[in-house]
Chains A and B, each alone.
Chain A
Amino acid sequence: MAIMRQMRPALTIFLLLSVLTGLVYPLGMTGLAGLLFPQQAGGSLIRSEGKTVGSVLIGQNFSSPGYFHGRPSATMGSDPADASKTIEVPYNAAASVGSNASPTSRALVERVAAAVAQLKAENPEAVAAGEHIPMDLVTTSASGLDPDISPDAAFFQVRRVAQARRLPESEVHQLVENLIQSPLMGWLGEPHVNVLQLNMALDTLHR
């Protein structure tokens, strides 16, 4: 039968291509990347005083008033009290996931309403000054690990952070301005601020 005659080439070519594309290629690239660009190949980790603080590309959960907060995250993780249960673990970088909320789901509307209320409670000065609630601060990111926020979302939090750290508002505002990453060539990408870098800069400012 015709299909049997094709078995030898099928088997041989499959094995050879598997070795080439499944072992030689990824392992060779791993070696080459580790040699040429070890920092990026290892996950762009940030080390400070001998400890790994995180990755510059991966967002972290911030909740204290003295730090800028990132976007809501939909990631889950196992409950430390009971491993059989899963609970909300924002910015769980071992299990990325988006909310996948339908635009017309009641759960989404309720969740955003709660986020708006919390944001208003945490930033009464910004609300009093008439600043709008930035969309990205009340919606979850696609990966649950978004390291960035929009410049507006950072400015919205400046008063709160400055007050918590007893710093002049203008200084914190200037810091945000300095760390805004503009679109490449002026059009490619959205202006954004990396929250971890911003907060680390804030920590050095404090000293």
Chain B
Amino acid sequence: MSISGWATIAAFLICVIAMTRPLGGYLKRVLEGERHFLAYGLGPIERVFYRLAGVCPREEHSWSQYAFAVLAFKVLCFLAVYALLRLQAQLPLNPTGMSAVAPDLAYNTAMSFVTNTNWQSYSGETTMSHLSQMLALTVQNFVSAAAGIAIAAAVIRGFARRSAAAIGNFWVDLVRATFYVLLPACVILTLFFVVQGVPQTLLGSAQALTLEGARQTIALGPVASQEAIKMLGTNGGGFFNTNSAHPFENPNALTNFVQMLCIFAIGAGLTNMFGRMVGKERQGWAIFSAMTALFLVGVSILYWSEAHANPLLTALGVDPSLGNMEGKEARFGVAASALFATVTTDASCGAVNAMHESFLPLGGMVPLINMMLGEVIFGGVGAGLYGFILFAIIAVFMAGLMVGRTPEYLGKKIESREIKMTMLAVLCLPLVMLGFTAVAVVVKPGLSALSASGPHGFTEALYAYTSAAANNGSAFSGLTANSFWNATLGLGMMIGRFFVIVPVLAIAGAMAAKKVAAPTPGTFPTDNGLFIGLVTGVILIVGGLTFLPALALGPIVEHLEMLHGSAF
């Protein structure tokens, strides 16, 4: 570990803290329909959208109407992406002559992008036409992220309002998040990335004659525009197969730093928006602090792990000073790779700048645990916040049990229905992660796709379903997804998204309808260190108890075997 490595991590955290308040204020203005400077320019277009769609922006939805709108939109997105991928050979903007995407792969990819997972069973530069990249994938990068922000806003309204029947209008939230948050930021980011060397062209490839006289075909495309939303929307689906490790997606240390900030930006901003909307910014900072604590633990372990060279390789006489460089890029080294891997799995981004499969066992375990905790460490845009609120509800419930009082969060009574909904959302994730893994490691089509043997093979399977259910999308990419994996992972992504969204909206609806109780001396405060500690503990215990046996079978055993010098 080096001073410059720690300086990078410290600088990153300082930037995130500095961004949180201004972003939170801006997000609140946009989503609450208050005045902000972009509304002057884009407002008329926004209103044209509503008129054409027959949406009255002032008419708000109950939680069930809101959920129906989300589901209707998602079904449509899924069908459109599937159709575009199946038909891409007949459609324009296909300079390299890509053929139609196979049905199981098209299903998996459509589910993956609709759920903001962006798991990639395909390799971008050899599968997707430019039209598919833009009209199918880039669109989903925007709208799945915007939908996440919209749902977070609806959930926050549930806590902020009192005795209300409605939690907002999904169409308005969706359009505003796209218009005033994602799109303008992406225009600026695209130009920045292009200046730094990320290509943005409609050409399919360039031909080069190398110094040694070999032919080299260099894949190109409209990369920068997709890169911007891929990071900001915590989507993570790369233009190229190797994602942000590809020098065209992430050419240098500065673009790498900016990409990491983009991943956390909206998730961090939403914690502040939460605080502002419930009337006390400290409530937002409490959430932010718990998230930051979990982030720091993760990045420290991962950096420590990767700064060590693989003992099986140093035994061959290789110099250990660079650390574990298998599957990492020279321009990033171990520090920026460890930080990126933590950030991308804390938030459910899933972009990678190093191959997680080649991390040392304990290093690879950190991304895995980050996802198992439910993607609540800043999390996917929107999804992180509403996922965290579920854990906050459990935390106040436990605190209530301890002192024998009806639990309250932000003055709202937490009752049996809310706890049931919370548990439904919290339990469906481990069910997919562990249940599907258990099946995959005993059936033949499951096993045949694994590239590694020994405990690492088990981790490969566990990582895949964890990533799918958590809607992350990063992978131990040695796995070559066949139709069994495409089908089950697609299902896992769907459960991971919608079995959280619907219960969480139901909670929002129930909360909105409740009155707010005035705080008394007996009220458990949710903006101090005790609460931060309690909720962090709940997150770790729920994750730890559920997943520890599986982790012991995978990365922990592999680590011990590696120290003994065994290879598989």
Contact = CB atoms under 8 A, between A and B. Distances in A.
Contact of B69 (A9, A60, A98): A9
A179 interface: no
Contacts of B320: 135
Interface in B310-361: 310, 312-313, 316-333, 335-337, 352-355, 357-361
Interface in A110-130: 112-113, 116
B224 interface: yes
B354 A142 contact: yes
Contacts of B457: 102
Contact of B77 (A14, A94, A199): A14
A11 to B, nearest CB: 6
Contacts of A62: 211-212
Contacts of A64: 212
Interface string A41-67: 111110000011111111111111001
B344 to A, nearest CB: 13
B318 A108 contact: no
A43 B324 CA distance: 30
Given A13-B174, A54-B218, A60 B210 contact: yes
B353 A142 contact: yes
A76 to B, nearest CB: 11
B183 A21 contact: yes
B329 A142 contact: yes
Given A54-B208, A148-B330, A199-B211, A100 B355 contact: yes
A34 B55 CA distance: 38
A2 interface: yes
Contacts of A102: 357-358, 451-452, 454, 456-457, 460, 478, 558, 568
B438 interface: no
A52 B317 contact: no
Interface residues of A, number: 103
B14 interface: no
A33 B355 CA distance: 30
B561 interface: yes
Nearest to B336: A189
B: contact size bracket: 35 or more
B187 interface: yes
Contacts, number: 396
B188 to A, nearest CB: 11
Nearest to B216: A93
A125 B290 CA distance: 55
Question: Which of A54, A93, A148 counts the most B-chain CB atoms under 10 A from its CB?
Answer: A93
Contacts of B442: none
Contacts of B478: 100-102
B502 to A, nearest CB: 13
Contacts of B174: 13, 17
B330 A141 contact: yes
Given A94-B125, A103-B358, A30 B200 contact: yes
Interface string A2-41: 1100111111111011101111011101101110110011
Contacts of A169: none
Contact of A91 (B190, B216, B336, B477): B216
Interface stretch (A157-165, A170-178, A180-188): A180-188
B156 to A, nearest CB: 22
A205 interface: no
Greatest chain A CB density within 10 A among B187, B206, B354, B457 is at B206
A100 B358 contact: yes
Most B-side CB within 10 Å, residue of A34, A97, A140: A97
A197 to B, nearest CB: 11
Interface string B435-472: 00000000000000001111111001000000000000
A146 B329 contact: yes
B54 A105 contact: no
B194 to A, nearest CB: 4
Contact of B54 (A9, A63, A134): A9
Contacts of A146: 247, 329-331
Contact of A100 (B202, B217, B476): B476
Contacts of A97: 123, 241-242
A94 to B, nearest CB: 4
Contacts of B196: 40
Interface stretch (B99-107, B137-145, B378-386, B534-542): B137-145
B53 interface: yes
B329 A143 contact: yes
A124 B333 CA distance: 27
Given A29-B200, A44-B199, A94-B218, 11 more contacts: A16-B52, A22-B136, A30-B222, A40-B195, A60-B211, A64-B212, A96-B241, A103-B358, A139-B326, A188-B254, A190-B253
24 contacts: A2-B64, A2-B65, A12-B49, A20-B183, A25-B183, A32-B191, A40-B194, A40-B195, A40-B199, A42-B199, A43-B220, A52-B209, A60-B214, A61-B212, A94-B219, A96-B123, A97-B123, A98-B358, A103-B364, A104-B312, A142-B354, A183-B253, A192-B331, A203-B211
Interface of A: 2-3, 6-14, 16-18, 20-23, 25-27, 29-30, 32-34, 36-37, 40-45, 51-64, 67, 71, 91-106, 108-109, 112-113, 116, 132-136, 138-150, 152-153, 183-184, 186-190, 192, 196, 199-200, 203
Closest 10 CB pairs of A and B: A189-B253, A142-B245, A132-B319, A190-B333, A12-B53, A100-B478, A102-B456, A33-B200, A22-B139, A22-B135
Interface of B: 3-4, 7-8, 11, 49, 52-55, 64-65, 68-69, 71-73, 76-77, 80, 123, 125-126, 134-136, 138-139, 141-143, 171, 174-175, 178, 183, 186-187, 190-191, 194-203, 205-212, 214, 216-220, 222, 224-226, 229, 240-242, 245-248, 251-254, 256-257, 309-310, 312-313, 316-333, 335-337, 352-355, 357-361, 364, 451-457, 460, 476-478, 558, 561-562, 566-568
